[in-house]
Amino acid sequence: MFNPFFTLLKAVFSIVV
């Protein structure tokens, strides 16, 4: 199960961090 929402959230988190 790999939802696009999770990927987007992780990407945002990565950018923030």
pLDDT value of residue 6: 93
**Residue carrying structure tokens 């999770």:** 6
List pLDDT tens digits, range 1-17.
678 899 999 999 999 98
Among 10, 12, 16, smallest CA distance to 2 is for 10
Q: CA-to-CA distance for 12 and 1, rounded, in angstroms? A: 20
* Predicted TM-score of the model (pTM): 0.17
Q: What is the 3-state secondary structure (H, E, C) of 1-17?
A: CCCHHHHHHHHHHHHHC
pLDDT value of residue 1: 61
Q: CA-to-CA distance for 17 and 5, rounded, in angstroms? A: 18
